[in-house]
Structure 1
Amino acid sequence: MDQESGFTTDLLQALRQSLSDTFSVLGPGDVDFTALLAKIASQLIVSAILITIFLAGYLLIRWLMQVTLRRFRLTETVLHPLLIGLRYAFFLLTALAIMAQLGVKTELLGAVAKAALIALMFYLAWAVVTRILITLLQRYNLDPSIEQLLRNVVSVLIVAFGIVTVLAQFGFDILSVVAGLGIVGLAVGFAAQSTLSNFIAGITILIERPFRIGDWVRIHDQEGKVMKIALRTTWLRTRDNIFTMIPNDSVASSDIINFSAEGPTRVRIPVGIAYKESIKAAREVILPILEAHPDVLKAPDMMPGVSASELADSSVELRVLYWITPDKMDIQPRISAQLLEQIKEALDAAGIEIPFPHLQLFIDDAKGLKPVMEPLYERTPPAPRNG
């Protein structure tokens, strides 16, 4: 038993000596672990008491705010910013008290307090400016993408100025910081010219709005529905359910055809009939088919129609016209195919000929071909007779 006690004492003494040697490297002189542990424990206890006092004050003030809110029947929008400010003050006072307990210098405590108040002022400015900006954008009914872009730009500017102002409270040279940021910005700009070009083009598209999300467009021979307008690319979904991302720089410099900007779209289907057939009879056969289709509009100024468009070499070309809504643009080829099939069957049923290219050769008194044709007739055996 005595041997075990002696071994434990030697082990603890060796561990203490090792820790003493380690701390002696960091600071001069021997370390009194008893006094050090007592000081750390006292600081932790005092810090816990301070946190408890501030937390109790925070909860009490919050309860009083909620009681006042219910008594005067105020909305939650009034209480929310007050609670944020109260919570911020609680964390600030707690941090300052703990830092003072740990022996932080008064100058640093003052700088921290000033920086915290400045940060609170910039936060309030951000909240107010953002609220005013959202109200103005909603009043003018601008695109949600523009709203998000402006909010991000305002947030970045306010945060940048706030960080610079806070750093100034701790003695940083603001001019050097700004110059460094400028040099970094130039380097990034040269390294990402394509990205910046697409970014600027994206802003131009969002401001000019040649198309919106949900429109059916054709860009660079790519036709599809606009699914997303990002700051760098524009996303299209084709009829084959294939997503295409086109760089905004390319979109801004190309011809854009928007099929949905002005509402319903008119579609043409060419149909040919023989010269001997009546255009009126063909129209009476085709119109009921157009009017019966559920996806074809029948508005007063957008009724389907059939008219002659050209007298071609071997047929009378008819132009079959019908209107569809913008949300039907992705199935427009299917609608045209259905109508064309029904028109073909209806014209066949009505006995109206649909001509096709063919060639007839007439030979009158072609005596020059007699030396060539007679040997062929002589070589051809006569057809056998029945019976």
Structure 2
Amino acid sequence: MRNGTVPPRGLELSHAVNVEDVRAIANRRLPAAVSDFIDGGGEGEITLHRNRHSLDAIMFRPRALSDASTRTLATTMLGTPVSAPLALAPVGLAALAHPLGERAAALAAAGAGIVSTLSSSSCWSLEEVAEATPDAPKWFQIYVWRDRGITSDVVQRARASGYKALVVTVDVPVGARRERDLHNGFTIPPRPTWRHTGDMLGHLPWVARFGWDEMFGHGLTMGNFGGKAAVTQRMAFMERVNQRFDPGMTWDDLEWLRSLWDGPMVVKGITNERDAAEAVARGIDAVWVSNHGGRQLDGLPATIDVLPAVVDAVDGKAEVYMDGGIRRGSDIAKALARGARICMIGRPYIYGLAAKGQAGVTKVIELLKEQLDNTLALLGCASVEALDQDWLRS
């Protein structure tokens, strides 16, 4: 294992000391094809691994005798107070990890005082998640689909349900070739093949939780399309994306979405400064630096490497967020020092879901906050707001 010690066999969630420990627990509970769907990236997974390698390569420059006896992680996110510079990114089909999926994740985020972003590809509907967390700050993520009527309807439902910001993902014009999924014959909804029978038999608790009907009968529910409608037609994830998503989306479509939404708007999937500058010119409130966790175009730079150029291009006219490879509180500190306001996590909280539902997500958030606080103390920095490039070696 990279970037940490090997977790002991039989490790329980209460004894997990980092995200990799939680991941190890999750992988014990999940069939291999599902773990691969969560962990995998596009094609050769170069971008996926680059995200981590680039974070690992950054070195700190601490300050001695600088009184970090009192530290604060608190900050704001588009004006909303949050307990830490951390938020949950949108992850589709989270119920593959745990039946309570997105609902459990939103409840954990609400309890921790951070923002959760619901995927439009969620298994729980946006209304159900909103009802479960009525007072918590929630954002909603959307794509521009070929059917603009569906797009408009979902946006209006999100507004009516009290979601505070709309996150538009722009880096999925078509589905990527995820070779782990292709090798596994992974479909949505999942259907085990004879090749996977032994692995499924070794994960009967997951089969019981996920439901035999989901795998062999009525399909995986997609909460935001026709209520709790089932996805009954099995197909590769890439095929499903290509059937629904619109590769012809332009900046004008972003303007159209703005006309439907009167709250803050965030553009997710930016990896170059020209697009960041265009987003700002179009009145976008926040730019989300993301390469989709390495799951889309392979061969992109790490998000931490393009972050400074994007921050410069935005020039303080919008907030800047980042995801990609975040596994430790020290990673969050590095991203903040390079100009991000908030770090988003996806896979880490899905590991938590698989490990123990809402309690697992809470554990991951707590670990990252504890590690970030410890990093600030060791740096000699009293606040996340004080982090800048001077805390890093060039």
Q: Which TM-score applies when normalising by structure 2?
A: 0.21
User: Which has more helix, going by share of residues?
Assistant: 1
**Who wins on radius of gyration, i.e. which is larger?**
1
Q: Which TM-score applies when normalising by structure 1?
A: 0.22
Q: Which has the higher contact order (CA 8 A, sep 6+)?
A: 2
